[in-house]
Chain A
Amino acid sequence: GAVVSQHPSRVICKSGTSVKIECRSLDFQATTMFWYRQFPKQSLMLMATSNEGSKATYEQGVEKDKFLINHASLTLSTLTVTSAHPEDSSFYICSAQPSGSRQETQYFGPGTRLLVL
């Protein structure tokens, strides 16, 4: 149980284009999902907290207009990297918290490797 999927697993795009990444909780409902970014050999950096039916909460320094988050249902959150540039290349990982459970438990997706040329 507690399976989280991400799609796509990897994407290559041209500079200036937008990329959408989907995060789905497959066997549970998640009121809250999180989006992280991870650079090679570094820890997880929280970008934003996504709550179903409301606006996402962004961490300091993360541009909300650049990283658009939509949490339209209890099993799906999307991250759109708008006007992507090479510096946006990174490993993006989502996590989901089962609704109604102990609040803090997070289950992670497999990640999405983004390369912007």
Chain B
Amino acid sequence: GENVEQHPSTLSVQEGDSAVIKCTYSDSASNYFPWYKQELGKGPQLIIDIRSNVGEKKDQRIAVTLNKTAKHFSLHITETQPEDSAVYFCAASIPTDSWGKLQFGAGTQVVVTP
């Protein structure tokens, strides 16, 4: 089955700097890769997603890149702000599942210090 690895587990950055989180997946047939932001005590919020027919997608300060050959995708946050502090999860679709299940990474705790 699909396996998603996410690194780093924790990331501390100074306000204004960039943050990069990387994920790898195992099933080359996966074709959908969302990123979620989860604040303490809340449910995950979809912040950006990318499909396998696209190599890069950007939404303001957030961008995601996908390398299908290497089977890895990354989240880039530029000009970080304290409100970006949260746990970020990557996920990959499970090709063999007809209901659209996702396989999640272990999460990255991002701390943005003023």
Closest-CB distance, A102 to chain B (whole angstroms): 7
Are the C-beta atoms of A105 and B49 separated by less than 8 Å?
Answer: yes
Whether B73 is near chain A, meaning CB under 8 Å from some CB there, is no
Q: Within the complex, which residue of B36, B93, B107 is in contact with A104, where a contact is CB–CB below 8 Å?
A: B93
- The answer to whether A46 touches B101 (Cβ under 8 A) is yes
**Which single member of A32, A44, A107 contacts B89 (CB below 8 Å)?**
A44
B residues adjacent to A (C-beta < 8 A) = 32, 34, 36, 41-46, 49, 51, 89, 93, 99-102, 104-107
A14 to B42, CA, bound (A): 24
Flag if A51 contacts B99 (CB, 8 Å).
yes
B99 — which chain A residues lie within 8 A by C-beta?
A: 32, 49, 51, 57, 103
CB contact between B100 and one of A32, A107, A109, A111 (< 8 Å): that residue: A32
* Residue numbers in A under 8 Å from B43 (CB-CB): 4, 6, 93, 108-111
* Residues on A with beta carbons closer than 8 Å to the beta carbon of B51: 102
Known contacts A43-B107, A44-B89; A108/B36 CB under 8 A: yes
Interface of A with B (CB < 8 Å)?
A: 2, 4, 6, 32, 34, 42-44, 46, 49, 51, 57, 93, 97, 102-111, 113
Q: Tell which of A49, A57, A105, A109 touches B46, judged by Cβ atoms closer than 8 Å.
A: A105
Evaluate contact between B104 and A43: CB separation under 8 angstroms: yes
Q: Complex formed: what's the CA distance from A106 to B35 in Å? A: 11
Compute how far the CA of A32 lies from the CA of B102 in the bound complex, rounded to whole angstroms. Answer: 13
Give the complex CA separation of A106 and B102 in angstroms: 9
In the bound complex, residues from chain B placing their C-beta under 8 Å from that of A49 are: 99, 101
| A109 to B81 alpha-carbon distance, docked (Å) | 25
The answer to whether A102 and B44 have CB atoms under 8 Å apart is: no
> Can you show 30 pairs from A to B with CB atoms below 8 A apart?
A2-B46, A32-B99, A42-B106, A43-B89, A43-B106, A44-B44, A44-B89, A46-B101, A49-B101, A51-B99, A57-B99, A93-B43, A97-B100, A102-B32, A103-B99, A103-B100, A104-B32, A104-B100, A104-B102, A105-B34, A106-B46, A106-B100, A106-B102, A108-B36, A108-B45, A108-B46, A110-B42, A110-B43, A111-B41, A113-B41
